[in-house]
Structure 1
Amino acid sequence: MGKTIAFTSAAVNYLPKVRKLFTSIRRYHPEFELVLALADELPASLDLSAEPLDEVLALADLPIDDKRRWTFFHSIVELATAIKPYALLDLLARPDVDRVLYFDPDMVLFSRLDDLLGRLDGANVVLTPHLTRPETDLEAIRDNEISALKHGVYNLGFLGVRDQPEGRRFAQWWADRIYHFCVADIPAGLFTDQRWIDLAPAFFDGVDILKSPRFNVATWNLTKRDLSGDLQSGFVVDGEPLGFYHFTGFDSGAHRAMATKNAPGNTSVDALVQWYADEARFDADEPVAKLPWAYGAYSDGSPIPSAHRRIYRARPDLQAAFPDPFVAGRGSLREWMLLQGPLEHPELAEKKSP
């Protein structure tokens, strides 16, 4: 059997979270090869030799058509998700690779995943649903089931694909869709890379849906999963060892709020959340966390508003007129957005104080 690669996708400033994920994978699966798909440019001064990873696969390394304009289309979150299928295709194409696993950088492993790997060995793709049991409380239905309908049935914080023709066909289809439609636009039926995967079980053979409560535990499923135990003895979910937990929305405080709401009085959940808070308490102070995103500003250093990205993405005429949208100065996209843009797109006009 060939090697297993586990990868994540992030910008440079997310490296403290990547470190926690990869450290946990190294602890339980030292045999995995760890790859960071970088939705950014790697600063020459940044030394990653001490980081728990084997390779950085940067955006510049990925064969994406019209990359400069395509990159401009995306916010930092959209780009980090948009490169996932391209990294997956690259890793699956390597001759000695048998399985590729993706984990979001805000995940942590808490035990080995041999049962998950066994399921993948008998499938082509493995997915984890946001929810595996129906909610019974009306507010939880609103919070969790309706949210899953908006954001996608399956949480793409995790994905496993085997190097088989059907697995590669799935990865190529996903990349083809994401190239054009990786945008956070819930009213239009899109949520970055995630909503597309709702179609995967219908389009592809060998798609295995992992319903074990120990995989991808998160605030949205704590209402129907009983997490117990502690750091010393180990956490348990419905009697099974916790496999991996998803600390999504942690920096904003949303994670702690929803964990408290969905698992009130659960001291094990409180301890787990507090552990991650303690582990992350110095993240914002790390120099790497302060590094600006390489694609967040025009060449003159002025930030790129999200409206500029949306308008440029929607208008082929602007894409043809400004092939390098990041350039500022006379005759640039930025100048057009400042002068002509408000006339054609009133939402760009500055709001004047009353």
Structure 2
Amino acid sequence: MTQLVYTVCSISQIPFALALGEDLQKYEPNTQFVIGLADRLPSDLPAIAFPIVAADELGLPFLSEMANRYTVDELTRSLKPYFASFLAKKYQANKIIFLESQTQLFQSLSKTWEILNEYDIVLSPNITQQRNPKHPINEPSFLNAGLYNAGFWGYKPSTQAESFLTYWKERTKEKGYFDFCHGFGAEQLWLNFIPIFQENVYIQSEIGVHYHPYNWVENPLTMDEKGNYVIAQSFPLQILQWQNLSLATQKGYFKNQIGVSESTLKTLKKLQNVYLSNLKKYTGFNSFVPSMGKIEQKASKNFLSTAIEKGCLKMIDWIEEFEVQ
């Protein structure tokens, strides 16, 4: 029996998963880490220091249908519960935690492991405080995005957990896409029902446990006199989850972060720059293109629109640097 942490990523996102694996080696040396690949495993993939399991190893007879239905991102998200069931059996895990690949650890996951001694399922909320209605990401936003964050959750094999995963798998099989106008928020929105449908669910909302773009506005991030990152002046930062980072451009714009303190944005910007810079050491993956899932096609642009876009991006860069430094 073992404790297991896993992630699921597309083939182009493997460097993020490798960085997460290194963090786990530092803070969770006795925990098994596995990378779930939402794709086929290329024969010429560079050597990887962690076990990697490809989607076709899951033995899903409808995998090709999912791959044809979903974008690469939607497929990656929708396979999370399937990898959970498969890996729990493969590694005989008695506790399992999922972390999004674009995640950094700053301390161990001991609190969550302890919670799983008593509870069957652990979820992380997207929002813990009332939000100003004028904020770009306000309370109605979470009625579409979901109340709980699918980038961090955990469970231990049990009747309740199996029911949870079965429910989630049935929904993501055909309804794991983004269509906010019709009430579909990929895999994440389905988590809203878990505390209602299942028993023994713990909502891990303690400050600092899971710091992500949805709750940056709620609590400031600073560095204390010892060089440790803390939330709201005194709570140690455990998990920092990024969103929409690009290895190609080494960018990750802080969208819709009106209301986040200037000092927090400054700290996050420095952390992001270091994080992306460290990912450059994982070479040999930029030539791989996902073979499963639809690749979203960008509309062709004429010279004028391209020039305007470049100018806007330069302006965004200037504004970000001006605001956070």
Give the corresponding residue for 1:114. 110
Q: Shift of residue 295 of structure 1? A: 2.5
Give SS of 2:44's match: coil
1:74-94: CA deviation from partner (whole Å, max 9, x where unpaired): 100011011111111112334
Query: Would the aligned equivalents of 1:184 and 1:191 in 2 still touch at CA under 8 Å?
Result: yes
Query: Would the aligned equivalents of 1:220 and 1:262 in 2 still touch at CA under 8 Å?
Result: no
- Alignment RMSD, CA only? 2.4
Give the corresponding residue for 2:230. 236
Query: Would the aligned equivalents of 2:36 and 2:52 in 1 still touch at CA under 8 Å?
Result: yes
Provide the C-alpha distance between the structure 2 equivalents of 1:263 and 1:121, rounded to a whole number of angstroms.
35
Give the unaligned 5+ runs of structure 2.
299-325
Give the unaligned 5+ runs of structure 1.
298-302, 307-354
1:170-218: CA deviation from partner (whole Å, max 9, x where unpaired): 1111111111211111111111111111000010011110110112212
Counterpart of 1:240, as a letter, is: F
Provide the C-alpha distance between the structure 1 equivalents of 2:253 and 2:240, rounded to a whole number of angstroms.
12
Counterpart of 1:289, as a letter, is: N
Give the corresponding residue for 1:249. 244
1:179 and 2:173 are equivalent in the alignment: yes
Provide the C-alpha distance between the structure 2 equivalents of 1:144 and 1:122, rounded to a whole number of angstroms.
33
Q: Shift of residue 305 of structure 1? A: 5.6
1:223 and 2:220 are equivalent in the alignment: no
1:211 and 2:197 are equivalent in the alignment: no
Q: Shift of residue 222 of structure 1? A: 1.8
1:170 and 2:164 are equivalent in the alignment: yes
Q: If the length of structure 2 is used for normalisation, what is the TM-score?
A: 0.83
Query: Would the aligned equivalents of 1:219 and 1:258 in 2 still touch at CA under 8 Å?
Result: no
Give the corresponding residue for 1:156. 150
1:292 and 2:289 are equivalent in the alignment: yes
Q: Shift of residue 232 of structure 1? A: 6.2
Greater RCO structure (CA 8 Å; 6+ sep)? 2
| Deviant stretches of 4+, over 4 Å | 252-255, 282-285, 303-306
Provide the C-alpha distance between the structure 2 equivalents of 1:16 and 1:132, rounded to a whole number of angstroms.
31
Give SS of 1:6's match: strand
Q: Shift of residue 255 of structure 1? A: 4.2
Query: Would the aligned equivalents of 1:250 and 1:256 in 2 still touch at CA under 8 Å?
Result: no
Give the corresponding residue for 1:201. 195
Q: Shift of residue 287 of structure 1? A: 3.1
1:324-352: CA deviation from partner (whole Å, max 9, x where unpaired): xxxxxxxxxxxxxxxxxxxxxxxxxxxxx
Provide the C-alpha distance between the structure 1 equivalents of 2:211 and 2:14, rounded to a whole number of angstroms.
22
Output aligned runs, 1:1-354, within 5 Å: 2-49=1-48, 51=49, 53=50, 55-94=51-90, 96-135=92-131, 137-140=132-135, 142-229=136-223, 233-238=227-232, 239-251=234-246, 255-259=253-257, 261-266=258-263, 269-281=265-277, 283=279, 286-295=283-292
Provide the C-alpha distance between the structure 1 equivalents of 2:31 and 2:269, rounded to a whole number of angstroms.
26
Of stretches 88-97 and 241-250 in structure 1, the one that deviates more from structure 2 is: 88-97
Give SS of 1:138's match: coil
**Per the alignment, do residues 296 and 78 of structure 1 end up closer, same or farther by CA in structure 2, a change over 3 Å counting?**
closer
**Per the alignment, do residues 158 and 171 of structure 1 end up closer, same or farther by CA in structure 2, a change over 3 Å counting?**
same
Q: If the length of structure 1 is used for normalisation, what is the TM-score?
A: 0.76
Percentage of pairs with the same residue: 19
Give the corresponding residue for 1:347. none
Provide the C-alpha distance between the structure 2 equivalents of 1:205 and 1:231, rounded to a whole number of angstroms.
42
Give SS of 1:200's match: helix
Provide the C-alpha distance between the structure 1 equivalents of 2:45 and 2:174, rounded to a whole number of angstroms.
32
Aligned residues: 293
Provide the C-alpha distance between the structure 2 equivalents of 1:123 and 1:86, rounded to a whole number of angstroms.
21
Provide the C-alpha distance between the structure 1 equivalents of 2:178 and 2:143, rounded to a whole number of angstroms.
14
Provide the C-alpha distance between the structure 2 equivalents of 1:47 and 1:296, rounded to a whole number of angstroms.
22
Give SS of 1:288's match: coil
Structure with higher Rg: it is 1
Counterpart of 1:111, as a letter, is: Q
